[in-house]
Amino acid sequence: MKFMIKKQTLRSFWYSLTSNQRFIVRKLYYYPIDLYDRLTGNYHKYVPPRGYIYTGSPASYNDYLKQGEQQLGLLKSEIDLHPNDSVLDIGSGIGRTAIALTSYLNESASYEGFDVVKLGVKWCNSKIKKDFQNFNFKYIPLFNDLYNEANLKASEFNFPYKMNNFDKVFSFSVFTHMQIDEIQNYFSEIHKVLKPNGIAFSTFFLYDDSAEDFIGTNKQFNFTIKNEGYSLMNNKVKSANIAIHKDKLNAMLEIENLTLIKIIDGFWKGSKDNKIEYQDIVIFKKKG
């Protein structure tokens, strides 16, 4: 019980900081081990130091590479990713998935990624793109109260890519940190840039009627602020985490002429038995 209370207190403190303060605290906290890794040669040229990793858990370079390989495995098994596909990585972060894709996508493939954090895009362009010219990363200064304080709204953002341009679109732990109107706009943009019958892969925190009470009362990871069709973890930092009702998600996809193919439940709501990912996986495609 004391551990759970401490974890909730730390999370509340973390969300009380500004986005810039969070980056500074993270770098300072991990500086000693990052310095040790550098001095002992325990690093990989594409993998950022722990203090730079702002999405997911900071990890050693071996663990970071394994996480990327796991994500690649999911893309291959769940949306039939091919080596020559044109792909869009929404929220490309600091290269976790892209690193794994460099050894899978061939020279005829194309990779485009964008992110709202300049640090991640700068790292990826200086490390990954330098060696793989068909990999491109764009910085988009969108406001997100978890990651930055820019002015451009995600709810009004137009993806900077041609219509019907991508075979596959994917995102890991992006829609878990966006607001409903922003997600709706991204669904519209995904429809625009996907080729006919193109497929998308994204992760969410989802629930249905049977799990609604549980996600609001779970001591370790809870969504206590209820709204119509979705719940928030923190009312002051609305992008901290969001959980969406499955019916709401399906309705949002239908509005944008996207078809839900399947939902693969994650183990964030409970048992790991027969689960392949922490977050819930959603596979959907463009109609026609």
What are residue 4's phi and psi, to 5 degrees? -65, -45
- What per-residue confidence (pLDDT) applies to 272? 86
Q: Quick one: which of 74, 113, 288 has its CA closest to 202?
A: 74
Cα separation of 237 and 239, whole Å? 5
Can you read off the two tokens belonging to residue 258? 């996207």
Q: Quick one: which of 119, 100, 91, 101 has its CA closest to 189?
A: 91
Q: Quick one: which of 145, 129, 127, 65 has its CA closest to 97?
A: 65
Can you read off the two tokens belonging to residue 277? 């990912």
Q: Which residue has the tokens 């976790």?
A: 96
Q: Quick one: which of 143, 165, 163 has its CA closest to 154?
A: 143
- What per-residue confidence (pLDDT) applies to 130? 96
For the whole model, what pTM was predicted?
A: 0.90
- What per-residue confidence (pLDDT) applies to 238? 72
- What per-residue confidence (pLDDT) applies to 4? 44
- What per-residue confidence (pLDDT) applies to 3? 43
- What per-residue confidence (pLDDT) applies to 58? 78
- What per-residue confidence (pLDDT) applies to 5? 42
Domain ranges, ordered by start, for the chain: 61-286
Give the contacts of 266 (CB within 8 A, at least 6 positions apart).
203, 275, 277, 278, 279, 280, 281
Q: Assign a CATH topology to domain 61-286.
A: Rossmann fold (3.40.50)
- What per-residue confidence (pLDDT) applies to 12? 66
- What per-residue confidence (pLDDT) applies to 69? 97
List, run by run, the mean pLDDT of 10-residue segments along the chain (288 residues): 50 68 86 91 92 83 95 98 98 97 98 95 97 97 76 92 98 95 98 96 97 87 92 82 97 97 94 90 92
- What per-residue confidence (pLDDT) applies to 26? 85
